[in-house]
Chain A
Amino acid sequence: MSPATRVMEAVDETQAVKRPAFEVIYDWVTTVDHKKIGIMYIVYALIFLVIGGVEAILMRIQLAVPNNHFVSPQVFNQLFTMHGTTMIFFMAMPILFGFGNYLVPLMIGARDMAFPRLNAFSFWVSAFGGFLLYFSYLGGSGLYAAGSAPDVGWFAYAPLTAKVFSPGHSTDYWTLAVLLSGIGSIGTALNTVTTILCMRCRGMKLTKMPLLPWLYLVMSGMVFIAVSPLTAAQIMLMLDRYVGSHFFDTQAGGSAVLWMHYFWIFGHPEVYILILPTFAFMNEIIPVFSRKAIFGYPAMVAASVGIGFISLGVWAHHMFAVGMGPAGNTFFVFATMVISVPTGIKIFNWLATIWGGKVIFSLPMMFAIGFLFQFLIAGLTGIMLSAAPFDWQLTGSYFVVAHFHYVIVGGIIFSLFAAFYYWYPKATGRMLNTTLGKWHFWLFLIGFHLTFDFMHIPGILGMPRRIYTYEASRGWGTWNFIIGVGAIFQAIAVIIFAYNLVRSYFKGDIAGHDPWDAWTLEWATPSPPPVYNFAHDPTVNSRRPLWDLKHPEEPDSDFE
C-alpha cells in the first residue's frame, strides 16, 4: 500500500456535535491549530477588505464629478490614508499569511506549524493592530468632532507626520497599528521558514517540494529583511513624536529623505512579498486545470529566489523625483528593469504549462486566466515607470495608481479569488456555488477594467493622486466618472462573493476529499482536514504524490 493511500484512510474526526456558542468561541480564541488560525486570518482580512472597499467607493464618489463636496478635504485625506493602510497591512498581508498558515503544513505533510503558540500570538497581535487603527476614529477628538483617523497617507512621509504638522494622536494610532502588524508578520515569517525547513515529510527534499511552500519560504525570508526596517522606522517616528528625537523632524535638522529610504526599503519588497504567494496559488491552480505538470520547476524556483534578491535593491525607484542625481537614478533604473526578467520567466512558464494541456474553465482557472492578462499589463506599465524620466512625469499621478492596482487588484485579488474557489472545498467540505461564482467573475472583471484601465488616462493628462477634487476645465471628469462606475461593479461582485461564501458553507455541494483531481498532499486528507492533518505521516517520492498514485504507469518520480 502506498503512503498516500494510507494517508487517505485518516478518520474523519470532525463529527458534528452541537456545542454551546461559548464553547465554540472559546475554542477559536484559544486555538493553536494552524488551520483555524489560517481561517481566522482570512476572515479578519475579508472584513478589512470590505472596510477598505467602502473607503474606496466613498473616494470614487467624491471624485466622480469635478468640484464635488461629498466629503471634506480632511475626510478625503483620511479615507485614502485608511484605505491604503488597511488594504496593505490588514487585508493583503493577513489574508496571504492566512492561506500560508492553512496550506503550508498540509502541503509539506506536517501536522502543524513549527511554533503553534507563536502562530496564535502573531495572529492576535496583528489583529489588535487593525483594531487599533480603527479605534482612532473614536480616539482623540473623535468622539466629539469629525474623527481623528490618520490623514498622513499610508506612506506617512516625513515631515508631515511630525508633531508640528500632525498634532493630536491620529498619527500615533497609525504608527502603533503598523508596528503591531509588523511584529505579527515577522513572527509568522519566522514560523513559516522554520516549518518549511524542518517539518517536511519523509522523502520531500527541497527539490521535491511543491512550489507553494517554496514561494512562501522566499516570501518569509523577505519579510525579515523588509519588515524589520519598517518596524525600526516606526519606533524612530514614535521617538520623534514622544521624546523629541529628530530622526525625521526637519525643523530640527532631521531628514525627510531618510524616512523615504526606510519606508521604501520595506515598501518595495512588500509588493513582491504580496505577489509571491499569489504566484504560488497560480503555480498550483494552472497545472491542475491544464492537466499538466508545471513547466520548468527549477526555473520557477530560481526566478522566485531571484525576484526575492533583486527586489531588495529596487526601493529607490519610488524616489526618482527626490533628486538623487543621475548616478543613483541609473542604478535604480537598472535594478528595476532587471527584475522584469525573472518575472517574465514566470509568465512564460505558465504559458508553457497551458500549452499542449487540456484547459478546464473552472472558476479557479477563470480567475487565474484573468490574473495572467492583468499581471502582464501590470508588469508592462511597471517597465514604463522604471524608465526614470518617464517616471518623472508619471510618479505621483493617477497612472501610478492604475499601475499598482493592476498589480494588487488585477494580480493579488484575482489570484486570491482563484485560491478561494480552489481551496474552499478543502477547508469547509463544501463547494462554492458555480452560478454565483460566474456572476462574481464577470462583474468583477468588467468593473476592474472599467476602473483601472481608464485610470491610466487622467494620469497621462496630468491628474495627481491624493487630490480631493479638481476643476472641470482640466478635462478629467469623464474618466473619473467611468472609474467610479467600475468601482460600483466591483463592489456588487464582492457582495455576491461574500453571499456565496456564507451560503455555500451551509448549502454547498459536498466536496469530497479531492474534487479537482489534484496532485498535492492537502488533497489526500479529508475535507475539512482533521486537527492533526494526517493519520499517518506521509512519505513522498515526487512533487506530485497523488499523480504518482493515480498514474502508477508513468509516475513523476521517473522524470524529475
Chain B
Amino acid sequence: MLGGLALTATAHAGSATSIFSPAGTPAQSIFSLSMLVLSVTAVIFLIVAGLLLYAILRYRHRPTDTDREPPQIYGSNQIELSWTVIPILIVVMLFLTTTRVILGTEHIPKPANALDVTVVGHQFWWEYSYPKYGVVTANELHVPVSDPASMTPTYLNMTSADTDHSFWVPRLAGKMDLIPNRINTMWIDPQQPGLYLGQCAQYCGTQHAKMLLRVYAETPAGFAAWIKHQQQSANEDFTGNPEAAAGKEVFMHNACINCHTVRGTVATGRFGPDLTHLASRDTIASGAFPNNAANLRQWVDDPNSMKPGSLMPSMHLNQHDLDLITAYLITLH
C-alpha cells in the first residue's frame, strides 16, 4: 500500500508543487531523508502486514477442528524483548539521520553573499522587501538562482502583520510559519531559473485558499536587471495617454492611498500591496488571477466578487472612473 503510494506519487513527481521533485538544497535533503524513511516504513509494513495476513489465514477456525480451544499461551519474555529492542534500534537510526538533516538545514553558517528578503504575511497576500536594495514588492518573489559551486542562497526573514501564515514552495524547501511578533528564517537556493509555485499552508482566514505563492528564480544578470527596474519610482510619463493621467488623479483622490503605496506619489499606505510596479507582475490578488486590464478593472470595482473575503473594499467608483483608474494602473510597469 505504502509502496503503491510512493510509486504513484513518484510518477507525479513532475507536478509543479510535488515534494518529490526538489529543485533546491533544503528540498533535496528533505527528499533524501524522505526516501530513507519511506523505505524503512515500507519494509516494516510488508513484514508486519505479511505476518498478520499469514496468522489470520493460517490460524482461522475450521469446521473440521475437533478442539474448540487452542492451547493457551500467556506470553514469552524472549520474544517480547526482541520486538522491543529491534524497534528501539530502528528508532535510534532514524533519529540520528533526522537530526543530521535538521542541523544541515537549520544550523549552517550564512554565506556572506546571501540575499536577505523580508517576507510579511498579510490576509491574504505576501509582502516582499529587499532591505539592501530598497525595493518593496508584493506576491511575486524574485530571487537569483544559486550555483551549487558558489552558493548564493536567499534568506527569508518572515513575520506576519495579522494572523498566522505559512510559506510553502514544495520544490524549494519545506514550510515555515509566519507568526506575528516573531521573526522566523528559512533559506532557499533554486538551482534552475524558472517559476516555482506554492501557497499559504497555515489557515489564516476566509481566503486562505487563494493566498498563492510565486517564486521567480532568475539568472544573476536577470535578477540584477529586475532589481534595477524595481528601484525606480513609478511611471510618471503619461504623454499621449490623458486617460492614465486622469486615472492617477482618481487614484490619488480616493481612499486607495490609505492602503497602497505608489513610490514617487502621495500614496504611501502600507495595509495593501505596494503598487509601484504593479503592471510588471504576471498576476493579481496573490496569484489568483492573470494581471490584465479586465481583471484589474473588476478587482477595483468589486474585489469580493472575485475573491470573497478579501479585505479590500469595493471602491464604488462610477464606470468612467473605473476606466480611468484601470488605464492608470496598467501604466505602472
Chain A interface size range: 35 or more
Chain A residues contacting B80 (CB-CB under 8 Å) are: 296, 299, 345, 348-349
Q: Tell whether B259 is near chain A: CB-to-CB under 8 Å.
A: no
Interface size class of B (residues with CB under 8 A): 35 or more
CB of B266 within 8 Å of the partner chain: no
B74 touching A389, Cβ below 8 Å: no
Once A255-B181, A321-B177, A361-B60 are accepted as A-B contacts, the answer to whether A390 and B102 lie under 8 Å apart by CB is: no
Residue ID in chain B nearest A160 by CB atoms: B163
Q: Are A322 and B19 in contact (CB under 8 A)?
A: no
B219 at the interface (CB under 8 A from A): no
What's the A-B contact tally at a CB cutoff of 8 Å? 288
Report yes or no: A347 in contact with B19, Cβ–Cβ below 8 A.
no
> Which residues of chain B are near A77, meaning CB under 8 Å?
203, 206, 208
When the two chains form their complex, are residues A462 and B15 in contact, meaning their CB atoms are under 8 A apart? yes
Please give the distance in Å from B311's CB to the nearest CB on chain A.
11
Give A241 Cβ to nearest chain B Cβ, in Å: 15
Q: Are B181 and A250 in contact (CB under 8 A)?
A: yes
- Known contacts A341-B84, A347-B48, A551-B69; is A393 also within 8 Å of B175 by CB? yes
Q: Which of A47-55, A118-126, A328-336, A433-441 contacts B (4 or more CB under 8 A)?
A: A328-336
A157 at the interface (CB under 8 A from B): yes
Q: How far is B182's CA from A254's CA once the two chains are assembled, in angstroms?
A: 11
CB distance from B144 to the nearest CB of A (A): 23
Q: Which of A299, A329, A373, A466 contacts B106 (CB 8 A)?
A: A329
Contact of B19 among A326, A349, A462 (CB under 8 A): A462
In the complex, whether B298 has a CB less than 8 A from a CB of chain A is: no
| Interface residue? A256 (CB, 8 A) | yes
In the complex, the answer to whether B55 meets A165 with C-beta atoms within 8 Å is: no
User: Could you give, for residues 536-560 of chain A, a 1 whenever the CB lies within 8 Å of some chain B CB and a 0 otherwise?
Assistant: 0000000000000001001010011
| B231, CB-defined interface residue at 8 Å | no
In the complex, whether A474 has a CB less than 8 A from a CB of chain B is: yes
**Known contacts A250-B180, A321-B177, A326-B106: A356-B202 contact under CB 8 Å:** no
Contact call A377/B2, Cβ cutoff below 8 A: yes
Residues of A within 8 A of B67 (CB): 358
Instruction: Decide yes or no whether A46 CB sits under 8 A from chain B.
Output: no
The listed residue (A356, A464, A475) touching B168 by CB distance below 8 A is A464
B62 neighbours in A (Cβ, 8 Å): 358
Q: Contact at B102–A295, with CB atoms within 8 Å?
A: no
Report Cα–Cα, A354/B55, bound state, in Å.
Answer: 6
- Cross-chain contact A292 with B94 (CB below 8 angstroms): no
Chain A proximity of B31: nearest CB distance (Å): 9
**Residues A390 and B34 in contact, CB atoms below 8 Å apart:** yes
Find chain A residues with CB under 8 A from B9 CB: 456-457, 460-461
Which residues of chain A are within 8 angstroms of B45 by Cβ–Cβ distance? 376-377, 380
> In the complex, what residues of B have CB within 8 A of residue A470's CB?
209
How long is the Cα–Cα vector from A333 to B37 in the complex, in angstroms? 13
Chain B residues near A325: list those with CB within 8 A: 106
Which of A229-237, A394-402, A493-501, A523-531 forms part of the interface with chain B?
Answer: A394-402
Question: Please, which residue of chain B has its CB at the minimum distance from the CB of A155?
Answer: B203
Q: Mark B44-83, 1 if CB is under 8 A from A, else 0.
A: 1100110110011001111001011111111110011001
User: Quick check: A253 and B52 within 8 Å, CB to CB?
Assistant: no
**Contact A296 B75, CB 8 Å, known A356-B59, A358-B61:** yes
With A349-B80, A396-B202, A461-B9 in contact, is A387–B94 under 8 Å at CB? yes
Could you say which of A160, A384, A466 contacts B34, with CB atoms under 8 Å apart?
A: A384
Which residues does chain A contribute within 8 Å of B198, judged by CB atoms?
462
Q: Which 7 A-B pairs have the closest CB atoms?
A: A392-B174, A462-B17, A467-B209, A323-B184, A250-B180, A396-B201, A296-B75
| 10 pairs of residues in contact across A and B, judged by CB atoms under 8 Å | A77-B208, A321-B202, A326-B107, A333-B102, A337-B98, A376-B49, A383-B94, A392-B30, A393-B175, A395-B175
Told that A329-B106, A354-B59, A463-B17 touch, could you supply 19 new A-B pairs with CB distance under 8 A?
A74-B309, A158-B164, A165-B162, A333-B99, A334-B95, A358-B59, A373-B52, A376-B49, A388-B98, A389-B30, A389-B33, A393-B30, A393-B34, A393-B175, A461-B15, A462-B197, A467-B208, A475-B12, A556-B72
